[in-house]
A and B are shown apart, each in its own frame.
Chain A
Amino acid sequence: MQKSRSSGRIRLMHRWLKTGGNLKRLPIAGICFLMPIVICGIFGFLFYPHPPTEMNLGHSLRPPAMLPGGEWSHFLGTDHMGRDLLSRLIEGARVSLIVSIVGVGLAGLLGVSLGMIAGYFGGSIDNIIMRIVDMMMSIPPILMAILLAASLGGGMTTITLSIMVIFWTAYARVIRGETLSIKQRDFVTLAVVTGCGRLRILMKHIFPNLVNTAVVLATLQLGRAIITEASITFLGLGLQPPASAWGLIISEGRMYLSTAWWIPTFAGLAIMMTVLGSNITGDWLRDVLDPKLKRI
């Protein structure tokens, strides 16, 4: 009997090539927004204009270079402690990206696993998992983060945990639906007939078909995760000073709003750029890989 070539697997490259590998349809805007941020995140430490923690109280609250009173060495101005804003923003990219990516990654791991189990095994396991999902979704995300931070204290681990706890439910729901529909397909039935163990079916047959959906969901969630992380840090419940997180820069800059408007403005623009880029790229990825998710 001829062995099925892809045994139900849909490879990302295969699909992309099938669409003609159409470079014209690449999300130029999304990549333009996202690339600088990612580069800052990974390689930022190579090109700080100044070390982000270097304080120079004589230079505090200087405006950006284009405005009167500004200097070109501090391109975006300085904050109340004399730290260069541009350097702090570059450093903040790294921190925000790490927390969001790790958080969403963990959430995906948990959500996809539970979603697969719920969808495949059905019955009471499905019921229990879905009730838990309902429960977790009934607590507004920020409040969940507040609850966790109040209990466990602030800091990077708590905030990553918060993001994982907030975002896993979306995965679970969507992946469960996908699993339910994949379960019906012929190659799964054939696998069962040939005596494949349940774990093997899940990992070798069902999971590869879920990867597309999971990846798309992850990119769509990334934007929200970055905003959530910034919000929690803004409230003082995430990373603590003197870390250079965007949320912290905005909350510190809030006190100087009328005198040094550039501090919260540029930090917020950085967040907006990242999320916009992530959303646009995510939308494009969804259109390419899994248009069924268009409803979201």
Chain B
Amino acid sequence: MKRYVIKRILLGLLTLIGVTIVVFVAVRLSGDAALLLAPPDATQAELDKLRVELGLDKPIPVQYIIFIKNLTKGDFGRSFRYNRPAMQLVLSRLPATLELAIFAFCVLVTLGMVFGVTSVMKPGSWLDRCGTVFALLGQAMPEFWIGIMAILIFSVGLHWFPTSGRGGLSHLVLPSMTLGWFSAASIMRLTRSAMLEVMGSEFVKMARLKGNPEWIVVWKHALRNALIPVVSMGGLQLGRLLGGAVIVETVFGWPGLGQLIIDAVYTRDYSVVQAGVIVTSIIFITLNLVVDLLYGGIDPRIRYE
């Protein structure tokens, strides 16, 4: 078990380094990185100073080392629009995005799992049909469109919810529904197929033979085993929620990390883009690591691969 944990952590670190390489390359793809990272009104002297700081006159590997050294110091560059260090800006917006993603995750993933299980238990019932349509639609509609339609129907039309901004529970409903629908659909499909597989196994038959009521057989015995791939998918979806929040935040004016990154792209505030992408990736990698460790904890067979 310990070997598994160490191996996973090392892999995570390696992936993190890889992400920094990707970001590093992406910035330098356009040619002159100093032009990207400096404010648009920088003088030639300031540009040159930035070039020396970034080491742009040195060979690429050295540049990369300077880049990494800065990262470990927490220096991701400076946002010239807000005149604050990029990292500080990113961290200040993070809680909003986390709030949205976690709420969407809890509510909709639960919904997806429930739909998936009932779809297996009562095939052909109206709940099953609802669930199937829910899943089919959820995977076919772009998130931004769901958001716009939701605003159209529920805010402009019915006046049930506010159209944008962050606030109390009523502000949270529409954005998280938009964000989570695709994830809920994926989870529902996976739960359904995992449950179908599990329901045919020996221990389920045994549980029935012991005389357990059906709902205990399903929710206590079958579901626990079916959950293994679902946990893995759940972690993946949470990561996807964090990344996909960009679009939902733009549509709903939610003041989170995603909107910060998009605004930074429009205003050419590249250091913020850099910082935002790296932070999101760190969260994603950590999440995957946690899921892997959980997976190893739940299913002992995984530890020996």
Interface status of A230 (Cβ within 8 A of chain B): yes
Cβ distance A265 to chain B, nearest Cβ, rounded Å: 7
Additional A-B contact list (11), CB under 8 Å, known A141-B243, A143-B276, A227-B141: A132-B18, A138-B15, A142-B243, A143-B277, A147-B23, A223-B140, A234-B247, A258-B156, A271-B141, A276-B137, A295-B229
Q: How far is the CA of A237 from the CA of B19 in the complex (A)?
A: 22
Is A140 in contact with B143, judged by CB distance below 8 angstroms? no
0/1 string, A154-170, CB within 8 A of B gives 1: 00000000000000000
CA A236 to CA B247, docked complex, whole Å: 11
Indicate if B62 sits at the interface (CB-CB under 8 A): no
- Pairwise interchain contact A279-B139, C-beta atoms closer than 8 A: yes
B68 in the interface (beta carbon within 8 A): no
* Interface residues in B84-115 (C-beta closer than 8 Å to A): none
Identify A257's interface contact among B152, B262, B268, CB under 8 A: B152
A138 touching B140 by the CB < 8 A rule? no
Query: Which of A123-137 touch B at CB < 8 Å?
Result: 131-132, 134-136
Residues on A with C-beta less than 8 A from B242 are 140
Q: Which of B14, B139, B148 contacts A131 (CB 8 A)?
A: B14
Contact partners of A280 in chain B: CB under 8 A: 136
Contact of B281 with A by CB under 8 A: yes
Contact count A vs B, C-beta below 8 Å? 144
Give the distance in Å from the alpha carbon of A118 to the alpha carbon of B276 in the complex: 32
Interface residue? B26 (CB, 8 A): yes
Asked whether any CB of chain A lies closer than 8 Å to the CB of B273, the reply is yes
Whether A151 sits at the interface, judged by CB under 8 Å, is yes
Greatest chain B CB density within 10 A among A146, A234, A264, A280 is at A146
User: Measured between alpha carbons, how far is A129 from B122 in the docked complex, in Å?
Assistant: 44
With A136-B22, A138-B288 known as contacts, the answer to whether A250 contacts B15 (CB < 8 A) is no
Partner of A268 from the list B141, B239, B243, B261 (CB cut-off 8 Å) is B141
Task: Establish whether residues A268 and B26, one from each chain, have CB atoms under 8 Å apart when the complex forms.
Answer: no
Say yes or no: is A272 at the interface (Cβ < 8 Å to chain B).
yes
Q: In the complex, A237→B276 CA distance in Å? A: 17
Q: List CB contacts (< 8 Å) of A209-237 with chain B.
A: 223, 227, 230-231, 234-237
Q: In the assembled complex, which residues on chain B have CB atoms less than 8 Å from the CB atom of A15?
A: none
User: Does A143 contact B152, Cβ atoms closer than 8 Å?
Assistant: no
**Any chain B CB within 8 A of the CB of A254?**
yes
Q: Are B141 and A134 in contact (CB under 8 A)?
A: no
Q: Does A191 contact B (CB under 8 A)?
A: no
Cβ contacts A to B, 7 pairs, < 8 Å: A135-B18, A139-B243, A247-B142, A250-B148, A264-B152, A271-B141, A280-B136
CB-CB under 8 A for A151 and B27, given A138-B15, A140-B243, A142-B246: yes
Question: How far, in whole Å, are A280 and B261 apart by their CA atoms in the complex?
Answer: 34
Q: Return chain B residues, CB-CB under 8 Å to A267.
A: 145
Q: Is B181 an interface residue (CB 8 A)?
A: no
Distance, CA A146 to CA B274, complexed state (A): 10
| Residue in A135, A235, A276 with the greatest tally of chain B CB atoms within 10 Å | A135
In the complex, what's the smallest C-beta–C-beta distance from B14 to chain A, in angstroms?
6
Instruction: Tell me whether B284 is interfacial, beta carbon within 8 Å.
Output: yes
Q: Please indicate the chain A residues that have their CB under 8 angstroms from the CB of B247 in the complex.
A: 142, 231, 234-235
CB contacts (< 8 Å) of B142 on chain A: these are 227, 230-231, 234, 247, 268, 271, 275
Are B145 and A139 touching (Cβ within 8 A)?
A: no
* C-alpha spacing A234/B147, complex, angstroms: 12
- A257 lies within 8 A of B156 (CB): yes
Shortest CB distance B227–A (Å): 15
Q: When A134-B15, A138-B285, A142-B243 are in contact, do A265 and B22 touch as well, CB less than 8 Å?
A: no
The answer to whether residues A140 and B244 also contact, given A146-B265, A237-B265 and a CB cut-off of 8 A, is: yes
B residues 125-169 in Cβ contact with A at 8 Å? 136-137, 139-145, 148-149, 151-152, 156
Given the interface pairs A147-B23, A272-B141, the reply to whether A236 lies near B266 with Cβ below 8 Å is yes
A131–B140 touching, CB < 8 Å:
no
